Every structure is written in C-alpha cells, then in structure tokens.
Chains A and B, each alone.
Chain A
Amino acid sequence: MVELSEANLVRRARSGELEAMRQLYELHASRVYTVVRRLAGDDDLAADLAQDAWCNAFQKIKDFRGEAAFGTWVHRIAVNTALTQLRQRSRRRDLEQTFDGSSMLGNPDRWPASAAAERVTVQRALDELPDGYRSVLWLHDVEGYTHEEIGVRLGIAVGTSKSQLSKARARLRVLVTKSRAEVVDHGTS
C-alpha cells in the first residue's frame, strides 16, 4: 500500500500538485537532508543543498519513470546536487590542497581550544575532514559507491579516489583517536 500511495503521490506531483510534492518531501526529507549534511560537513550549507536538491527533483519529476523507488531517485539527485556544488565551491576556494590532502582544515591543532575539549563524535571528525576526503569516504564507505563511480562524479581518477579514501580513513582515525584521548585526559585530570 505504501508503494501504491507513493506512486499516486508521484503521479499527482508530476501533474504539478503542490500538496503531493509536500507529502513526498515529508516522506523523504530526512533521507535527503542526511546525505547532503554528511557530504557538506556544515549545517547551513546542507540546508541550502537540500533545498536545491528538492527543487531539482521537482523540476525533473516528469523525467522520473518509476524504474527505481522515488526515495532512491531523489537520494541520487541529492548526492549529485551536493557533489556538483561542493566541486564548484572547491574550485572557487582553490581547494586543490583539500583534494591532495595538504589542507589544514582538518588539523585538530587549529581547532579552538574549547572545541578540542568537547566530546568529538565521529560526526564532528567527519565534518572536519576536507571536502574531497569527506566526499570520497562517505560515498564509498556508507553509500556504497565504487571507486569508478566516485571518479566519474568527482571528476578524479580511480587511483586518486583510492588514495583519497586511504588518507580520509587515516585522517578520520587520527582525529577521532586524538579527540577521544583528550576527553579522557580532561576527564581524569
């Protein structure tokens, strides 16, 4: 019944019915926001990306053929929207450094002292990764993309994707280990 009702919502949304679009949004808002938030590493940027993703989806909904579930389709649009804009952002900020791993953004030495004392979750460590690292890590380890697929979406070579993944995992492990050790130090001192 869920599938039938969702198919009905899609059909109504394709004909331009706003209420049907709103219901589809309610059904999948969390899924879309979660993936763009993980890729963005920032609340404000994620909010913008999620808006863009939904607007893109509703503008393209006439192209949705129902070959996949609507949730899968809109999730894919969200990923593509996020990656496209992150890449454009990278170009604007000349983040070649980010993609080759030499950016200082993820260096915990540059975190504010008060923040370093916080209990840093995996989420926070993920946010601290450079955009390129975070994208490859999330796409590969959570979304299940292959290095070939990541290469196409990010415009990088397969070997670069593999290298980025290794560095991202290593950086993430260092960030998490260090922050947890600091929590222990602060907690026992």
Chain B
Amino acid sequence: MVHPSIETLCELLDGGPAAGAGEHIAACPDCQGEMERLRNLRAELRELPPLDPPAGQWEQIEARLPIAQARGGRLSWSRPVALRAAAVAAVFVIGLGLGRLILPGASENGTSQPVAGLVVADQPPPASLADAMADVRRLGSEYDLALRNLERAAEQQGATVPTLSQQRLASLEALVEASRTALAADPTDPTLNSYLFAAIEERDAMMRQLTAAQGTSSDVLWR
C-alpha cells in the first residue's frame, strides 16, 4: 500500500482537494494517525503562550527614538508647526537685535550692550551636531537654574523683576523652546541650529543684563 505524500496530507489538513487520497486515508489507520498528529501539532503551535519582552526594553527603544535623542524627552510639535515657530522665533530675535541697535540705551541698567549675533561668534564652533546639542542642553539647564535663582532672589529682597525684562525673558525662552522643538523634527537643519543658538545667545545676554541690574546675585546665577 502506497501512502499519500506529506504534501498531500498537508493539503488535506488545510482543506485542499484530496486528489484521490480521500478513500485511502479513510481506510488507512496510519494515515489517519499522521493526519491527527499534524492537526494536534498545529493546535499546539496556536496555543503557545504569549511572551513577555525582556526587562528594560522600553528604555532601549526610547534611547533610539530620534525625538528622545534630540530633546531628552521634551514634547514635540509636528514639523510644520515647529518650523513656523522657528521662523517666528528668528524674526523675533532679529527684530530684538535691531531694536537694540536702534535704541542702545534702552536696556534695563541704562548701559549699552552689544547686539547678539545670529551665531555664537565668541566661542569655538562645536565639533559635531551632538556636541552642539549637548551645549544647548547644558545652556538650557543653566538658564533654568538661573531663572529660578533670580526669582528666588527677587522674592527674598522684596524686589520685583522689571515687567519689560519678564516679558523679554519669557519671549526669549519661548524662542529657545521653539527652536529646540524645530530641531527635534530635523536635527541637522543648519538654519534651525542657527535660530537656536541665536535665541540662546540673546536670552543669555538678557540674563546678564538682569543680573547686573540686580547687582547682588551674579555669582549665584552663573557659578
């Protein structure tokens, strides 16, 4: 007796045509047993339990996501929104710089300050984009700390930060954030990088002015 091939049995298992093997299988206990074993094996495959991923997998995935690499977990906007924000930021920075050129005595401490350029001119350029982003994160952290210290110092002395300065600082911080957000969408864009450095430079210049105006806490703010 010639038994059907494994291919034929598999066809039958999947509901395919018997190709003349039906009668044989109906009369052959061996083939019936083979069909049953194949059927059970398929059922066992389908009943294999779900598996848990290795511990710490999310952290590894997160580290590979461009948004996390670029922004350290900050929230992101969609690219069109971010680009519009960055464009607004650039216009604002340029406008602010021009304004200070036209009205050099308008700073809070009454002294003229150099206009911040659109690139960081007094520091060597970073060797790579990663270095640049590290600088950005470091400066951002220093700024956040400085702002908290300034607020704390103002509260302790019963003083108030000038309203114009608050508005400028808030605007500049928004520019920095907008530029960072835009860079998260496209970290290699040279224009966006210029926007970000310009915003940070301008913001830092504003902080230095405020520190001088406070006259008390520069060592606290910038150590």
Interface on A for B, CB 8 Å cutoff? 14-18, 21-22, 25-26, 29-34, 37-38, 43, 47, 50-51, 54-55, 58-59, 122-123, 126, 137-138, 141-142, 162-163, 165-167, 169-170, 172-173, 176-177
* Pairwise interchain contact B50-A31, C-beta atoms closer than 8 A: yes
* Pairwise interchain contact A34-B50, C-beta atoms closer than 8 A: yes
Tell me, rounded to whole Å, the shortest Cβ–Cβ distance linking A150 to chain B: 13
* Pairwise interchain contact A18-B62, C-beta atoms closer than 8 A: yes
Q: Could you give 9 example pairs across A and B, Cβ below 8 Å?
A: A16-B76, A29-B53, A30-B53, A33-B51, A47-B54, A123-B48, A137-B45, A142-B45, A176-B41
Q: What B residues does A138 contact at CB under 8 A?
A: 45
**Binary interface profile of B, 36-54, with partner A (CB < 8 Å = 1, else 0)?**
0110011011101011111
In the complex formed, the residue of B with least CB distance to A44 is B54
Known: A31-B50, A34-B51, A55-B61. A172 touches B41 (CB 8 A): yes
* Pairwise interchain contact A16-B67, C-beta atoms closer than 8 A: yes
* Pairwise interchain contact A17-B76, C-beta atoms closer than 8 A: yes
Q: Tell me which of A18, A34, A123, A162 contacts B68 (CB under 8 A).
A: A18
**Binary interface profile of B, 1-37, with partner A (CB < 8 Å = 1, else 0)?**
0000111011101000000000000000000000001
Q: What A residues does B75 contact at CB under 8 A?
A: 15-18
Interface size class on chain B is 35 or more
In the complex formed, the residue of A with least CB distance to B81 is A15
**Binary interface profile of B, 160-202, with partner A (CB < 8 Å = 1, else 0)?**
0000000000000000000000001000000000000000000
The 5 closest A-B pairs by CB, nearest first: A16-B76, A33-B53, A166-B10, A166-B7, A34-B51
B103 touches A (CB below 8 Å): no
B65 touches A (CB below 8 Å): yes
* Pairwise interchain contact B50-A30, C-beta atoms closer than 8 A: yes
* Pairwise interchain contact B53-A50, C-beta atoms closer than 8 A: yes
Q: What A residues does B60 contact at CB under 8 A?
A: 51
Please report the C-alpha to C-alpha distance between residue A167 and residue B78 in the assembled complex, in whole angstroms.
49
Known: A51-B61, A122-B45, A169-B41. A30 touches B52 (CB 8 A): yes
Q: What B residues does A43 contact at CB under 8 A?
A: 54
Q: What A residues does B95 contact at CB under 8 A?
A: none
